[in-house]
């Protein structure tokens, strides 16, 4: 008789595999169906490999600046093949780790494409999973008690601006480049566009970012976005904002040429390659949603706060449901969904407390509302801002641009948002996240003793600055 599963998870990315581990801890018989590799976009085409590249770019830049630290080096040259090799080795190590975790949790992994079937001879309810194999082997049928859809997302492009993986690339494709171009046009100055602009500029590539809005990183606080732009300009990145790329004008030979409309005029842009980073779209087609009552909006699966779809035994989490398309969001949603299945009564996630990070140089990180959002919501706010240049450790470290900005509610001292730009802020944002979760006030942050000398002192000073009581500024 076929093995019985409490839960089958479609997709073994960060959302899916973390949910599988939690389900196994809760005593469920679990299977993961994954068409590609365990670890998904984050491990193979996103967070991890791009951060490995960013780290190489940082070391390259810092080595070139070594004499400012009193270190004399010979000529610094880049071996991009080695950069690729290092990235692959990190990805492989982590990939092996995920596979070992699946074994440890006795989680069955099916390497195939999973599709949800409607009511059939297997079950009167939709939710039977048919697994199709690339090699043409006969499909496997599983009738689980519950299903979790964690199929993620894929890069979106502009109509007419087809990705070809070589001259016009998504970020996943760019990660496979064997050599660096000498120039690149990046369409979209969001998170991916800015991380790549920073990395490629540090590697010595001539970068032009074309952004549709009047602010790069449109979802970040305006002051942070302006600081990132200022620092990237110093590296030589060119920004063209409020510009509409005209896909029909794309010309590809040994390089790419395209027109963009700026203020009613068309301007020509030319580079060796183009990276398109204009957002992502849900992987919800072809997975059998038509065989169910599950609702979607613009391809994103609709769920309640416990990630149940309209079919209450079928859950969905991560990028495929939209919202904050971040790996740590997907994994927490996965844990919540699985705990709900197991009747553990999890608390719904408070999306206002989720930190987001941008790993460019300078790094940026935030949690909660931007100043503009807080004002739009009608809050009477007070703001404390403190620069890294007054923090001893930042000078010692050699990176003292940037600041921390804390936005609080004048009425009751509630924290509304914390925004950071500068050295190591993607690590420091967790303190801000904890402060939000614990419903702390600026007074409690400044009362938390930040050791000296550390970069984290900037948090204490920014919290004091909310009351105009900062010490070093």
Question: Are 315 and 309 within 8 A, CB to CB?
Answer: yes
DSSP assignment letter at 199: H
Euclidean distance between CA atoms 295 and 130, whole angstroms: 21
Q: Does 278 sit near ligand NAD (CB under 6 A)?
A: yes
From candidates 190, 355, 368, 460, binder to ligand NAD by CB under 6 A:
190
What's the closest the beta carbon of residue 161 comes to ligand NAD, in angstroms?
8
Q: Does 53 sit near ligand NAD (CB under 6 A)?
A: no
Q: Which of residues 298-327 bind ligand NAD (CB under 6 A)?
A: 325-326
From candidates 119, 160, 218, 236, binder to ligand NAD by CB under 6 A:
218
452 is catalytic: yes
Q: Name the segment binding ligand NAD (CB under 6 A); options: 140-148, 275-283, 308-316, 427-435.
A: 275-283
DSSP calls for 306-321: T-B-SSTTEEE-GGGG
Q: Does 119 sit near ligand NAD (CB under 6 A)?
A: no
Q: Which of 280, 261, 277, 278 is nearest to 269 (CA)?
A: 261
From candidates 36, 118, 222, 279, binder to ligand NAD by CB under 6 A:
279
Name the 3-class secondary structure at 21.
helix
Which of 44, 332, 452, 472 is flagged as catalytic?
452
What's the closest the beta carbon of residue 217 comes to ligand NAD, in angstroms?
7
Euclidean distance between CA atoms 228 and 57, whole angstroms: 17
Alpha helices in 2-64 (DSSP H): 14-25, 40-44, 47-64
If the CB atoms of residues 117 and 246 are measured against ligand NAD, the closer one turns out to be 246
Residues 6+ apart with CB under 8 A from 100: none
Euclidean distance between CA atoms 445 and 453, whole angstroms: 17
Alpha-carbon distances, residue 441 vs 48, 157, 385, 412, 463 (angstroms): 34, 42, 15, 9, 9
Q: Name the segment binding ligand NAD (CB under 6 A); options: 176-184, 200-208, 309-317, 352-360.
A: 352-360
Q: Does 246 sit near ligand NAD (CB under 6 A)?
A: no
Q: Name the segment binding ligand NAD (CB under 6 A); options: 64-72, 118-126, 185-193, 339-347.
A: 185-193
Chain centroid to Cα 67, Å, comes to 34
**Is 279 marked within a binding site?**
yes
Question: Are 236 and 175 within 8 A, CB to CB?
Answer: no
Residue nearest ligand NAD (C-beta atom): 190
Q: Does 158 sit near ligand NAD (CB under 6 A)?
A: yes
- Which residues contribute to the annotated binding site for FAD? 51, 114, 151-153, 319
**Catalytically active residues, by annotation:** 452
Footprint of ligand NAD (CB under 6 A): 158, 187-193, 195, 210-213, 218, 245, 277-280, 325-326, 356-359
């Amino acid at each position: 008789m076929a093995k019985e599963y409490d839960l089958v998870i479609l997709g073994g990315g960060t959302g899916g595999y973390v949910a599988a581990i939690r389900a196994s801890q809760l005593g469920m018989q679990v299977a993961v169906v994954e068409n590609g590799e365990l670890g998904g976009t984050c491990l193979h085409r996103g967070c991890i490999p791009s951060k490995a590249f960013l780290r190489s770019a940082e070391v390259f830049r810092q080595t070139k600046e070594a004499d400012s630290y009193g270190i004399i080096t010979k000529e610094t040259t880049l071996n991009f093949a080695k950069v690729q090799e290092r990235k692959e080795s990190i990805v492989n190590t982590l990939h092996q780790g995920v596979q070992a975790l699946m074994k440890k949790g006795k989680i069955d992994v099916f390497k195939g494409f999973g599709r949800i079937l409607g009511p059939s001879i297997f079950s009167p309810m939709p939710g039977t999973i048919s697994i199709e194999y690339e090699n043409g082997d006969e499909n496997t049928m599983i009738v689980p008690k519950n299903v979790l859809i964690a199929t993620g997302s894929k890069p979106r492009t502009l109509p007419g601006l087809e990705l070809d993986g070589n001259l016009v690339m998504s970020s996943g494709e760019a990660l496979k480049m064997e050599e660096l171009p000498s120039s690149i046009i990046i369409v979209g100055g969001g998170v991916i566009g800015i991380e790549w602009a920073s990395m490629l500029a540090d590697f010595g590539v001539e970068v032009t970012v074309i952004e549709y809005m009047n602010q790069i990183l449109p979802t970040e606080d305006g002051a942070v976005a302006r600081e990132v732009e200022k620092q990237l300009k110093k590296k030589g990145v060119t920004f063209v904002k409020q510009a509409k790329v005209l896909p029909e004008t794309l010309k590809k030979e040994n390089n790419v040429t395209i027109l963009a409309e700026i203020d009613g005029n068309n301007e020509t842009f030319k580079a060796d390659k183009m990276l398109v980073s204009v957002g992502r779209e849900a992987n919800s087609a072809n997975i059998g949603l038509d065989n169910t009552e599950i609702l979607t909006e613009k391809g994103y699966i609709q769920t309640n706060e416990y990630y149940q779809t309209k079919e209450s035994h079928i859950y969905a989490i991560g990028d495929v449901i939209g919202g904050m398309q971040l790996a740590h969001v997907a994994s927490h949603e996965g844990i919540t969904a699985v705990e709900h299945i197991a009747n553990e009564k999890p608390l719904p996630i408070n999306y206002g407390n989720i930190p987001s990070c941008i790993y460019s140089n300078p790094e940026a990180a935030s949690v909660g509302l931007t100043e503009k959002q807080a004002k739009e919501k009608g809050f009477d706010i007070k703001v404390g801002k403190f620069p890294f240049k007054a923090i001893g450790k930042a000078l010692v470290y050699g990176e003292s641009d940037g600041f921390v900005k804390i936005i609080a509610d004048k009425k009751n001292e509630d924290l509304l948002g914390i925004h950071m730009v500068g050295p190591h802020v993607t690590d420091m944002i967790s303190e801000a996240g904890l402060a939000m979760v614990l419903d702390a006030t600026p007074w409690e942050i400044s009362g938390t003793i930040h050791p000296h000398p550390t970069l984290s002192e900037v948090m204490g000073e920014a919290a004091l600055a909310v009351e105009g009581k900062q010490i070093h500024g």
